[in-house]
């Protein structure tokens, strides 16, 4: 990806943040991503900081960029809130089962759209920071092998999201508003 600015992350943080839309700088994407990653990695039993922590790359972009990525990788030429690309294919598992614990140096890459994230947060009456953190937790779980292809897997993933977000004092995103 050209024309991008890599932000400086805290030492030992396994998250590299690429800012393509400056609104993410003002929204504190770097801190949100580091916080979401640390909580999610802890939940998964992986080291959240230090040399052994798996690397995650997060790109903060806009709707135009994420629509192009969505078209290229999923054949859906419209914006979405977040996309993720795992570094490794997950091991097969029974519906609803927890994914196997990964032993990898890199989990993968995430793109998050400011436009869609801000629009959804406003529509749901949530702080942008809470909604963005939820989307980042969701995407990191995808990198770790979680999915929501069937009801059992969706329940497992949503339970993990709720547990992780509770440690961050973020309300249940699936509760009716």
Could you report the per-residue pLDDT of 65-110, keeping only the tens digit for each?
999 999 999 999 999 999 999 998 888 888 888 888 777 789 999 9
What Cα–Cα distance (Å) separates residue 88 from each residue in 34, 142, 145, 153?
A: 21, 11, 9, 19
Residues belonging to the binding site for Zn(2+) are 138, 142, 148
- What does the mean pLDDT of the chain come to? 89
Low-confidence ranges of the chain (pLDDT < 70): 1-13, 176-177
Confidence (pLDDT) at 11: 47
Which residue pairs from 98-104 have beta carbons closer than 8 angstroms and sit at least 24 positions apart in sequence? 98/156, 99/144, 99/145, 99/146, 100/145, 101/44, 101/45, 101/46, 102/44, 102/46, 102/54, 102/144, 102/145, 104/54
Confidence (pLDDT) at 135: 98
Percent of the chain at pLDDT > 70 equals 92
Confidence (pLDDT) at 69: 98
Containing 6, the helix (H) or strand (E) segment is strand 5-6
Residues belonging to the binding site are 138, 142, 148
What Cα–Cα distance (Å) separates residue 60 from each residue in 110, 116, 131, 147, 152?
A: 9, 11, 14, 22, 31
Confidence (pLDDT) at 51: 79
Distinct helix (H) and strand (E) counts, the chain: 6, 5
Determine if the pTM surpasses 0.85.
yes
Residue ranges per domain, the chain? 5-167
Confidence (pLDDT) at 155: 95
Fold of 5-167: Collagenase (Catalytic Domain) (3.40.390)
The residue count of the chain comes to 177
């Amino acid at each position: 990806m050209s024309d991008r600015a890599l932000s400086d992350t805290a030492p030992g943080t396994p998250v590299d943040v690429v800012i393509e839309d400056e609104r993410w700088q003002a929204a504190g994407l770097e801190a949100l991503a580091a916080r979401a990653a640390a909580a999610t990695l802890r939940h998964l039993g992986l080291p959240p900081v230090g040399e052994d922590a798996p690397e995650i790359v997060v790109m903060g972009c806009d709707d135009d960029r994420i629509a192009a990525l969505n078209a290229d990788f999923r054949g859906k030429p419209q914006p979405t809130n977040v996309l993720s690309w795992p570094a490794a294919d997950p091991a097969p598992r029974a519906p609803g089962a927890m994914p196997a614990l990964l032993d990898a140096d890199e989990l993968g890459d995430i793109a998050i759209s400011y436009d869609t994230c801000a629009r959804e947060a406003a529509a749901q009456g949530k702080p942008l920071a809470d909604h963005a953190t939820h989307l980042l937790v969701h995407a990191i779980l995808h990198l770790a092998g979680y999915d929501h292809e069937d009801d059992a897997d969706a329940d497992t993933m949503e339970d993990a999201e709720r547990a992780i977000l509770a440690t961050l004092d973020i309300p249940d995103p699936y509760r009716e508003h």
